[in-house]
Amino acid sequence: MGAVVDTLRLTAEDAKGLLERGEVSGAELREAYRGAIAERDGELHCFLRTVDDAGGGGVPIALKDVISTKGVETTAGSKILSGYVPVFDSTVAARVKAAGLPLLGKTNTDEFAMGSSTENSAFGPTRNPWDPERVPGGSGGGSSAAVTAGMTPWALGSDTGGSIKQPSALCGNVGLRPTYGTVSRYGIVAFASSLDQVGPIAKTVRDAALLYSIIAGRDPCDSTTAELPEAVRLPEGDSLEGVRIGVPKELNEAEGIEPGVAEAVGRALALAEELGADVAECSLPRSVRYGMPCYYLIAPAEASSNLARYDGVRYGPRTDGASYQEMVDRTRDDGFGDEPKRRIMLGTYALSAGYYDAFYGQAQRVRTLIIREHREAFERFDVLACPTSPTVAFRIGERAADPLAMYASDLLTIPSCLAGLPGLSIPCGLSEGLPVGLQLIGPQFGENMLFRAGHVLETALAFDTVPERWRS
């Protein structure tokens, strides 16, 4: 007992080994992470609340605050849910609890997971561990920054249009958005129901695969879930022999991709060839051209429907009014921030009489074309590759007043999300001293192939996930 725990470098798999060999106790491991939170979270603000959970003796975990946790406040980063304490666990929270993973706390998020920088949280922004003057990405910036800062060995986030993959890219760690339907959405605060998906954030691909194996699988509480066609495999090996990697021209040459990002991704793809992969160019013209406008009709429309339940009647704070309608209006005006209001109005308009078919209906037809285009690409390739984010982490406040510039942060992650496909972001280098993410996209239920390719590349790239300012 009593081994020194370096939480900045300790992977979840290594922590599991320490526990199994009896080199540390569960209490000592939890205490090490609580110490890291006490040391660093004052600067970074990754956690909205911490929990002293001694209920499991396994590797501790943090959960994004859209994941309902019995007896622990769950706000989705919004004032309209302040003080809401669920009386039940979401399915993913129940599964990590059943696996013996004690909860360290709930992490910060853009309000209702709407954002690309974690600046939209009603409780203040999270900061990037590599440079606290910059954003950690969003909406899951709290989870991603906490993993990089050694405050938790792994975490769960949620991804609608890039909210796991993009912050993982900006913080320099590994993030998986699973195939839609492989992880239950029961007990997740809904944003856009046909897009939302929970997934792991970790230091390594093997850690991400291990956590995915815990949370994935059919759930009778969520009718959209499916059984995995094969068991999750922890990746091994050092060769990409036989792996066909497609490089979509439009996703790698899109407007706004910074030169340093393109160079780092190009080096990673060249390395993939050296490791035995067959790398060739392909094309996804409709997906890139129409992905953003399609997403920003479908997601706000579904958000408009989902967020209609917040009326001050059943839960959350209430602002009184002279009538029922005035009470609801005042509660929503006080409770929702600017970004949810923006998306609610956009979505309500898209669903309104006379516009439904022209906007929401047409977007769904375009989504079908995007699904078909990806399916055709996977007839030739096992994996598609491109940057995760067009840029490295930008400065806090830099895009806050320009929603279109903020939305462009998800340009490269949105198309595969619309298609319901799995995507894995791994760090592939630095640009301007900040992490660059490589996005690997797989076919439906293609997680094992992503884990294999990601693990081999990750090992060969040997990226140091510890921010330079903390390296001894």
Indicate which residues carry an active-site annotation: 64, 139, 163
C-alpha distances out from residue 80 to 70, 105, 122, 174, 330, Å: 19, 20, 9, 31, 11
Q: In what order do the strands lie in the sheet with 383-387?
A: 47-50, 103-107, 61-64, 154-159, 197-202, 174-177, 423-431, 434-441, 383-387, 244-248, 278-282
**Helices assigned H by DSSP within 134-179:** 141-148, 165-171
Strand (E) or helix (H) holding 372: helix 362-377
Residue with tokens 């998800």: 410
Pick from 46, 93, 49: which is nearest to 68 by CA? 93
**8 Å CB contact between 404 and 181:** no
Calculate ∠ Cα 105-106-111, nearest 5°.
Answer: 165
Q: Around 439, how many Cα atoms within 13 Å sit in the side-chain half-sphere? A: 35
Give Rg (Cα) of the chain.
21
For residue 58, the tally of other CB atoms under 10 A from its CB is 19
CA dist., res. 78 & res. 421, Å (int)? 29
